Structures are given as C-alpha cells and as structure tokens.
Amino acid sequence: MKMEHPAHARALPKAPTGIEGLDEITGGGLPKGRPTLVCGGPGCGKTLLATEFLVRGATQFGEPGAFISFEETGEELAQNVRSLGFDLDALVAEKKLAIDHVRVERAEIEETGEYDLEGLFLRLGFAIDSVGAKRIVLDTIESLFGGFTNEGLLRSELRRLFRWLKDRGVTAVITGERGERSFTRQGLEEYVSDCVILLDHRVNEQVSTRRIRIVKYRGTTHGTNEYPFLIDEDGFSVLPLSGLQLDHAVSNERVSSGVPDLDEMLDGKGYFRGSSILVSGTAGTGKTSFAAHFAQETARRGERCLYLAFEESPQQLIRNMQSIGLNLEPFVKKGVVKIHSSRPTLHGLEMHLVQIHKMVAQLDPAAVVIDPVSNFIDTSTAIETQAMLLRLIDFLKGKRITALFTHLTSGGSATEATYVGVSSLIDTWLLLRDIETGHERIRGLYVLKSRGMPHSKEIREFLITPRGVQLKTMKDRKK
C-alpha cells in the first residue's frame, strides 16, 4: 500500500526574506533554490527589495549572498542603500556578501549559434564560491539580454541561465524592467521563473502609492491581492491587507474614559479594553477634549498611548489641552504618550495604514487615538476610506488595543450618520451635539450604543471647564 505523506512533508521549501509583511503574503518567503523574478517600472524599488533580501539573509538567517550588478558598481550600490541602514562594505569584509559588477556592452553581443553564457557562469560561480553564497541577485536582466532580437535564442539562453541557477541550488532574485504589455520587456522571463513579484508605483490625485503583487508562485498558495508597501529608513515593509480576520480575542477588563461622569454612564466602569470608540459631533462640541482625557488617563495608568492628530501640531494640542486642565507634556517627555501630527493628504490611505502599523509595532501602545478620522475622506472616496478604517479597526482589535476615533459631522447632516460609514464597526458610540435652549446653545452628550454593557440613555449636558469635562443631567439644569 502506498503511504500518504503529511502535507508539511511535501511543502515547498522557502527562504524567508526577513522583509516585514512579504513573508506573510508569500507564505514563508521565496522558493528556496529557485529563481524569483521581481519586475516593475523605474523607481518602484526592485533593486532595494533584492538588496534587502540578501542583507536579511546574511544577517538574520546565516545565508551569505552574492550581488551581480549589470548597471551599478559596488560602490554605487553600497552608497544607494546606506540610507536604509545597510552597510554592504562591512558585509563584504566579513565574507557574508560578494558584489560583482559585470559590464555588458550590447554592441559586443553577437547573436550567433556559438554565443552562450559560459563567461557569465564562471563569474557567477566564482562569486558564489567566494563566500559560500546561498542567495544571489542579478540586477537587471535587461542589461544582459537587451541586445537580443532573436526570440528563439533569447528563450534558450534564459532557460539555460535559470537552469544553471537551479543546479547550483541558490535562491535567486532577478530584477527586470516592466514592459508595455507584459511583466518584462522581453515578455519571456515570467514564464521560466518559479515566482513572479510585480512592483508598482502609481500616482492618483497627486498622491503616490507603491504596491506589490505576487503574480505567480509555483507549488504553493500565496496572497493574490495588491498590497501597499513602504520604503523608509528601515527598508521595505508590506501590509498584508487580506490577512485580517474576525478571530481576535476579547477582554472583560474595563478602562476609564478619563471622565468619571462618563464612566458612570457606561455601567460605572468605562470602556472595554481592546474595544473601538467613536466620538462624533459638529465643530466645537469637544471631541478632542474627550480624546485628550482618554489619552491622559491611559498614561496615568502607566500605559502607552499613540495619539494621531490630523488637525493640530503636538505643541498646539498640548497648549490647547492645558486650558482645560489636561497636562500631556510630562507624559510626552517620558515617552508614555506619543503625538504624531500630519496632514491626511501627505500620503494615500494605504500609506497611512502602513505607517500606523509601523508606529504601533515600535511603541506597543495600549491605546490609540485618531483625531479625526473624517479627514481621511479628503484623500479618497468614502468607500475606500471605509475599507481602510475597517482594516485599521481589525488590526487594533487583533492586538487588544483600545482605539478612540473622533469624527466631524456637518451641521446639516444627520447626527446619527458618519461620512466614512464606520459606525457599524464601532463598539461604543458617543454623540456630542449642540442643543438650542431659548437664547443659548449648550453642549449635550448621549451614548448612542455601547456593545456588551448596560449604559445610560440620558442626554447629559456637559461643560468644558478649566478642570476638564464635567457632565450634569438635563434635570439638574432645569432645577
């Protein structure tokens, strides 16, 4: 009887890239001992991705690498990636990395039956043997085959190159320029590659976005969507949007809102830890004041809070909150509260999401405040904004981070509506409104919903005083 082998025994061996998010969407990394094609237009990050693949392999996974460049010299390459914190010269000195610049002149390439890649194979073999390389990068393949017009010869030589790399057992990354109607200019490389990764750098409404897609991956499942990625001082980071599921853990622990009277309205205990809270209202109703109360109370408990302000600078926010008795400055100096200010139009929605992921990973906060989320609609459509916030809420819930969002509503819109359509995703919704009574307007608050707890149905008047937000009942006002 033929024995059935378990699935994990037949799984395709993979070489982890060490690039945040990329290993997740590829199911563990690139195919080990096989060639991967990374293609895209100019400036989309092909060389940087390939370089980081080698550096992470040498520094994190004990796999030396070889970089074969057909365009840049070793000095130029080392200088270009130094801004990402990669010291190629040190890796070369430690025999963890070999860099070879192969100069190819198209005029010197003769399309004859005798032409082959034996000379290149010797250079590749020497570079691999010099450091015992397990990974190799060829950048870019157009420089090597750009002079070919004979498609039959080109296909034959491409197959020889890819077969030679497989026979050497090295995990190869080959970069290529994107063609007009194909993933590469030659239109053949993608067919002989075991994995094809497409990078894209697009501009929409004057906002640029970089995205990555796994076009092909033989022998394994993989993410098929487009995923935004970021290139910054830490290198590549990819955000796997489709990996978020409704399987996060929940907590019965309660955390204070920072306003004792509001805690009383919420079963006397405040919010659930890890829940999502929405504070909505028209301009001037005090949304930021409630958000600042929550941030300060989080810091008082000794927990870290990430405050994302999209309308005020950190200094302006600190100054304004001091007028109502909230002093965030000591907590900011201690690093317990981190205020990050930027305009929503600075990046596309995906880039904001990637940056929030990175800041959460760096700070590991217990609470996140986003003030206000309604500004995101200025950078995209309502549907795209809703999708982005859905991913953000799921991400924060998955990490059991209590999230508070403020939302600006217009005076003529329904008070129980939000432009970004996230109200159904929210656990606790506080509605702030101006109430006209005779010759004056007062501020009122009521809890529209709060899942999982009994809560007050009262409309409470509140005052913003030098001692903070204070609530009182409408009956008290009548007295």
User: Tell me: the pLDDT tens digits for 334-349?
Assistant: 999 999 998 776 666 7
Band of residue 115 on the pLDDT scale cut at 50, 70, 90: low
DSSP H or E segment with residue 42: none
For residues 376 and 367, give the distance between their C-alpha atoms in angstroms, rounded to a whole number. Answer: 20
- For the chain, state the CA radius of gyration: 28
Question: Does residue 155 surpass a pLDDT of 80?
Answer: no
**Residues 222 and 68: beta-carbon distance below 8 Å:** no
**Residues 177 and 140: beta-carbon distance below 8 Å:** yes
Burial label for 204, CB within 10 Å (0-12, 13-18, 19+), is exposed
More confident residue, 413 or 136: 136
pLDDT of residue 276: 93
Band of residue 246 on the pLDDT scale cut at 50, 70, 90: low
Nearest to 39 by CA among 144, 189, 231, 233: 189
Token pair for residue 187? 């239109």
Band of residue 132 on the pLDDT scale cut at 50, 70, 90: very high
Band of residue 352 on the pLDDT scale cut at 50, 70, 90: confident
**What integer is the mean pLDDT of 282-307?**
94
Could you tell me the pTM of the whole model? 0.72
Among 138-142, 177-181, 215-219, the range scoring the smallest mean pLDDT is 177-181
On average, the pLDDT of the chain sits at 83
Q: Where are the alpha helices (DSSP H) in 169-210?
A: 189-192
User: Tell me: the pLDDT tens digits for 381-429?
Assistant: 667 777 778 888 888 988 999 999 998 887 644 455 554 566 777 899 9
Q: Where are the alpha helices (DSSP H) in 204-286?
A: 260-265
Token pair for residue 275? 């829940």
The secondary structure of 395-441 as a DSSP string is: HHHHTT-EEEEEEE--TTS-TT--TT--GGG-SEEEEEEEEEETTEE
pLDDT of residue 199: 93
Instruction: Give the CA diameter of the chain.
Output: 102
User: Tell me: the pLDDT tens digits for 197-237?
Assistant: 999 888 776 667 788 999 999 888 888 888 888 887 778 88
More confident residue, 97 or 180: 97
Nearest to 228 by CA among 45, 378, 401: 45
Top-ranked range on mean pLDDT: pick from 8-22, 121-135, 155-169, 346-360: 121-135
pLDDT of residue 364: 94
